[in-house]
């Protein structure tokens, strides 16, 4: 089976001499739910930009199914990948339905209007995300959790085989975090969508995501070896790996078959130790 | 809350607005210091040599001026919609990127410099305004590109600073200008609807109409572009190309409007908001309805400007703000409470 996403030796830096991502390789099978975790500055959002074709890697290739991203136009990428972000500019008062409909912009007819099939996709996306009830309300009048569901609905309405999400649960309380992950899981199962989500919540990732890509901020360091790990979530998010990546001390415990990680404090650095008595 | 926009609704509303505009233009052409009768104006006298003052006034005095007002109103309101969307800023208007001060500088240089040459028998002032406007917006756009592709703050700041700089130049030149030059400059800066000759009207009317039609075909993509650069890219819109085309068309029709009529404030900022308050933010509808409403508004405002203190005339910019301001505030208070800003 052809992987939905293949990253082959990709290297990218905002300054050429300082790569954020260095020689990163991974594959995501179709229909997989991949979490991307790692401390701030490790290159998670950069990786998402690369997968969405917003930036080009300095070296290496990204393949979606068997198509090289470099040879895709903006429209061709948009047929394969939908991106859900959390940026929100409340400038002009679009309603929820209008916002979700924008996902179909590419498919509008010659006179700039959507087809009945587009409308059907929008309706389905609203239903799946349980946003139909406030479809005619303005986006700015919603709570953060409701708005996040609307943005996911827009991603769904784009009807792509791959869905990328940048921290879909930031700003959300526990109830809404769980609802978003339940929603993503049901989308994965019902539509077979390949999902890649950046997350800071390792425990949620451990519960919901099949695989995890753990990035360490080592892209620019001269340290040998890769600065990422990818694999089954339970094998990647081990206490040792997480402690190393985030430079913290962890408490880890098992509840049933699920492992939970709880941060205890900063990891002691060599420079933090008191001077030995003379 | 209105149902989602359908082609039928859009056609119906646009046709209604166009009918209203046509009626208003006809009615306003009959109003003036000299009352004229439409019947007399439209009748073809059996004896073509006999003078028909009604027809003369209707065809040669009022119609060109009313058509001019409609063109300028449509261009400014349409361009206002586009600039607000592209800059993702509800405070944007067609002049925000320096078009106004660029045109003003072109005009004052032409007047103070005493340009004596003519172009096909016409004064070079209009052309200077046009060149000044487009040159300035090109400069500002270039600076904006350098400062950042994804965000418009650099572009906005460049516009504000260039505007301030050119305004200072204009003030300097005004302060050293002599009496007649000064009067001509100030009259231009205040905005006016002097009767243009028909060739200029046809050419600029064609330009503005073509620009608006072009923008209409970009308008479906303006919705997602007004939400954000990354959003537009990820749904498959080639943002750079569309933005460049929309900027160029909007700047072009604004430059044409400014060269024709000088600086008329308010229309380009307030008409898009008024239409948005009533009909919602969908640009496919906002653009045609704003253009038609802007045309209607300026036709009415100009009719008031030329009749209220007749035989003297007021600059139309005075009327647009004096009438448009309170009207818009009423609309804002009544509809704004329903959560327009939050919506």
d(CA B105, CA B130): 10
Nearest to A111 among B7, B223, B238 (CB): B7
Average pLDDT over residues A215-231: 74
Q: What is the DSSP letter of B61?
A: I
Do A99 and B227 count as a contact with CB atoms less than 8 A apart?
A: yes
Most confident of A259-273, B23-37, B245-259: B245-259
- Tell me: pLDDT of B217 over 70: yes
- Tell me: pLDDT of A110 over 60: yes
Do A141 and B343 count as a contact with CB atoms less than 8 A apart?
A: yes
What single string gives the DSSP state of each residue in A69-84?
Answer: GGG--HHHHHHHEEEE
Lowest-pLDDT range of A148-152, B195-199, B245-249: B195-199
pLDDT tens sequence across B76-95: 999 999 999 999 888 888 98
Hey, how many other C-beta atoms are within 10 angstroms of the C-beta on A223? 9
Q: For residues B76 and B267, is the Cβ–Cβ distance under 8 A?
A: yes
Task: Go through B8-42 and write b for each residue having 16 or more CB atoms within 10 A of its CB, e for each that does not.
Answer: eebeebbeebbeebeebbeebbbbbeeebeeeebe
Residue B46, pLDDT score: 61
Whose tokens are 């509809």? That residue is B335
- Tell me: pLDDT of B310 over 90: no
Burial (0-12, 13-18, 19+ Cβ within 10 Å), B145: middle
Hey, how many other C-beta atoms are within 10 angstroms of the C-beta on A12? 22
Which positions in chain A touch B224 (Cβ < 8 Å)?
A: 102, 105
Q: For residues A91 and A32, is the Cβ–Cβ distance under 8 A?
A: no
User: And the tokens for B172?
Assistant: 């300097």
Residue B1, pLDDT score: 39
Query: What is the set of domains in chain A, with CATH numbers?
Result: 5-245 (3.40.50.300)
d(CA B29, CA B38): 9
Do B227 and A141 count as a contact with CB atoms less than 8 A apart?
A: no
Of A78 and A172, which is predicted with more confidence?
A78
Helices marked H in chain B — which ranges? 7-30, 38-42, 53-56, 63-86, 99-112, 125-147, 153-176, 179-190, 198-227, 229-234, 239-261, 267-279, 283-307, 316-336
- Tell me: pLDDT of A271 over 60: no
Of A257 and B157, which is predicted with more confidence?
B157
- Residue pairs between chains A and B whose CB atoms are closer than 8 Å: 113
Do A98 and B235 count as a contact with CB atoms less than 8 A apart?
A: no
pLDDT tens sequence across B165-204: 999 999 898 888 888 888 888 878 877 777 667 888 889 9
Q: Which residue in B77, B87, B17, B78 sits closest to B215, CA to CA?
A: B78
Share of residues in chain A with pLDDT > 70 (%):
92
Average pLDDT over residues A222-227: 68
- CB neighbour list of residue A274: distance below 8 Å, 6 or more residues apart: none
- Tell me: pLDDT of B343 over 50: no
Q: Which residue in A87, A77, A70 sits closest to A8, CA to CA?
A: A70
Q: Which residue of B231, B278, B287, B332 to mutate against A (max A Cβ within 10 Å)?
A: B231
d(CA B310, CA B306): 6
Residue B342, pLDDT score: 44
Tell me which architecture the domain covering B61-336 has in CATH.
Orthogonal Bundle (1.10)
Task: Go through A36-64 and write b for each residue having 16 or more CB atoms within 10 A of its CB, e for each that does not.
Answer: bbbbeebbbbbbbbbbbbbeebeebebbb
Residue A223, pLDDT score: 63
Residue A266, pLDDT score: 83
- Tell me: pLDDT of B309 over 60: yes
Residue A195, pLDDT score: 96
pLDDT tens sequence across B109-141: 888 877 666 666 667 788 888 999 999 999 999
Do A102 and B231 count as a contact with CB atoms less than 8 A apart?
A: yes
Q: For residues B246 and B82, is the Cβ–Cβ distance under 8 A?
A: yes
Which positions in chain B touch A79 (Cβ < 8 Å)?
A: 236
Q: What is the ipTM of this complex?
A: 0.84
The mean of the pLDDT values for chain A is 87
Helices marked H in chain A — which ranges? 44-51, 74-80, 96-101, 116-128, 144-157, 174-191, 202-208, 233-236, 239-246
Residue A100, pLDDT score: 94
Provide the 3-class DSSP secondary structure of residue A255. Answer: strand
The pLDDT confidence band at residue A219, using thresholds 50, 70 and 90, is low
Interface check for B233 against chain A (CB to CB < 8 A): the answer is yes
Burial (0-12, 13-18, 19+ Cβ within 10 Å), B74: buried
Of A106 and B4, which is predicted with more confidence?
A106
Q: Which residue in B220, B155, B164, B194 sits closest to B315, CA to CA?
A: B194
Do B276 and A93 count as a contact with CB atoms less than 8 A apart?
A: yes
What are the boundaries of each domain within chain B?
61-336
Average pLDDT over residues B213-237: 93
């Amino acid at each position: 089976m052809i992987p939905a996403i293949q990253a082959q030796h990709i290297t990218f830096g905002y300054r050429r001499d300082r790569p954020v991502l260095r020689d990163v390789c991974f594959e995501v099978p179709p229909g997989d739910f991949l979490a991307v975790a790692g401390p701030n500055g490790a290159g998670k959002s950069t990786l998402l930009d690369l997968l969405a074709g917003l930036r080009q890697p300095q070296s290496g290739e990204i393949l979606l199914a068997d198509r090289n991203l470099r040879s895709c136009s903006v429209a061709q990428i948009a047929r394969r990948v939908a991106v859900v972000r959390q940026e929100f500019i409340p400038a002009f008062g679009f309603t929820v339905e209008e916002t979700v409909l924008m996902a179909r912009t590419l498919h509008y007819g010659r006179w700039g209007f959507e087809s009945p099939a587009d409308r059907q996709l929008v309706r389905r996306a609203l239903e799946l995300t349980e946003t139909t009830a406030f479809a005619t309300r303005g986006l700015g009048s919603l709570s953060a959790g409701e708005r996040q569901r609307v943005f996911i609905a827009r991603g769904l309405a784009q009807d792509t085989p791959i869905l990328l999400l940048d921290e879909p649960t930031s700003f959300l309380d526990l109830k809404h975090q769980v609802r978003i992950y339940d929603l993503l899981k049901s989308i994965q199962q019902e539509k077979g969508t390949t999902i890649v989500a950046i997350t800071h919540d390792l425990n949620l990732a451990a519960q919901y995501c099949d695989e995890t890509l753990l990035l360490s901020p080592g892209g620019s360091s001269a340290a040998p070896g890769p600065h990422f790990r990818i694999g089954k979530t339970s094998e990647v998010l081990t206490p040792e790996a997480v402690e190393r990546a985030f430079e913290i001390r962890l408490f880890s415990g098992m509840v049933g078959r699920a492992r939970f990680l709880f941060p205890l404090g900063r990891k002691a650095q060599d420079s933090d130790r008191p001077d030995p008595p003379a | 809350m209105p149902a989602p926009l359908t082609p039928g609704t859009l056609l119906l509303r646009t046709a209604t607005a166009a009918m209203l505009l046509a009626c208003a233009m006809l009615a306003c052409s009959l109003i003036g210091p000299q009352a004229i009768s439409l019947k007399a104006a439209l009748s073809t006298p059996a004896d073509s040599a006999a003078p028909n003052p009604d027809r003369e006034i209707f065809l040669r005095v009022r119609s060109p001026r009313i058509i001019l007002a409609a063109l300028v109103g449509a261009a400014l309101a349409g361009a206002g919609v586009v600039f607000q969307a592209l800059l993702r800023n509800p405070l944007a208007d067609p002049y925000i990127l320096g078009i106004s001060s660029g045109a003003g500088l072109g005009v004052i240089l032409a007047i103070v410099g005493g340009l004596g040459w003519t172009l096909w028998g016409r004064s070079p002032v209009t052309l200077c305004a046009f060149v000044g406007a487009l040159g300035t917006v090109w400069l500002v756009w270039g600076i904006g590109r350098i400062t950042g592709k994804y965000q418009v703050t650099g572009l906005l700041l460049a516009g504000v600073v260039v505007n301030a700089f050119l305004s200072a130049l204009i003030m300097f030149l005004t302060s050293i200008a002599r009496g007649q030059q000064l009067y001509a400059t100030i009259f231009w800066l205040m905005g006016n609807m002097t009767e243009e000759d028909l060739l200029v009207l046809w050419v600029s009317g064609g330009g503005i109409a073509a620009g608006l039609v072009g923008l209409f075909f970009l308008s479906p993509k303006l919705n997602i572009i007004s939400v954000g650069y990354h959003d537009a890219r990820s749904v498959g819109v080639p943002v750079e190309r569309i933005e460049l085309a929309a900027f160029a068309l909007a700047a072009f029709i604004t430059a044409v409007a400014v060269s024709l009529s000088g600086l008329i404030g308010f229309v380009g900022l307030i008409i898009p908001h008024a239409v948005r308050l009533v009909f919602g933010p969908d640009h496919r509808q906002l653009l045609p309805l704003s253009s038609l409403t802007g045309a209607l508004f300026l036709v009415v405002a100009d009719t008031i400007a030329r009749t209220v203190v007749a035989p003297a005339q007021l600059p139309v910019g005075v009327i647009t703000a004096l009438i448009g301001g309170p009207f818009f505030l009423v609309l804002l208070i009544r509809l704004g409470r329903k959560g327009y800003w939050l919506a």
